[in-house]
Amino acid sequence: MRHPTFTHRLQRKRRIRARISGTQERPRLTVFRSHTQITAQVVDDISGKTIVAGSTREAKGKPNKEGAKKLGTLIAAKAKDKKIATVVFDRNGYKYHGCIKEVADAAREAGLKF
């Protein structure tokens, strides 16, 4: 049997993904959190391709709030290099606080528009 919060997150994720989709003009910024790292991707759902990806390991950070800030800044910089200015934020079923919020805030401060 799976842990109840795991299945609740997947239910929230399905509800969110039913409404959110990334296009070429406005791709989807999705965040995944694990015990060892936090990863973020900018995805074009129409073509099914990841445009930009990064992790706290690549950003030389730990999977905590400080590492999440570094990751948000890194993703925004990589997106700017690919000429992406606006994205749709996908919290991936996680509650919008802590590390997820820090990634979003850091990406906004670095120039991405949500």
Residue the block writes with tokens 């919060």: 5
Taken in order of first residue, the domains within the chain and their CATH numbers are: 4-109 (3.30.420.100)
How wide is the angle at C-alpha 63 spanned by C-alphas 103 and 39, nearest 5°?
55
- pLDDT by residue for the chain (114 residues), tens only, comes to 667 767 899 999 999 999 999 999 999 999 999 999 999 999 999 999 999 999 999 999 999 999 999 999 999 999 999 999 999 999 999 999 999 999 999 999 999 999
Q: Which residues of 78-107 are buried (b: 16+ CB within 10 A; e: fewer)?
A: bbeeeebeebbbbbbbbeeeebbbbbbebb
pTM: 0.91
The DSSP secondary structure of 36-72, one letter per residue, reads S-EEEEEEETTTTEEEEEEETTTTT--SSHHHHHHHH
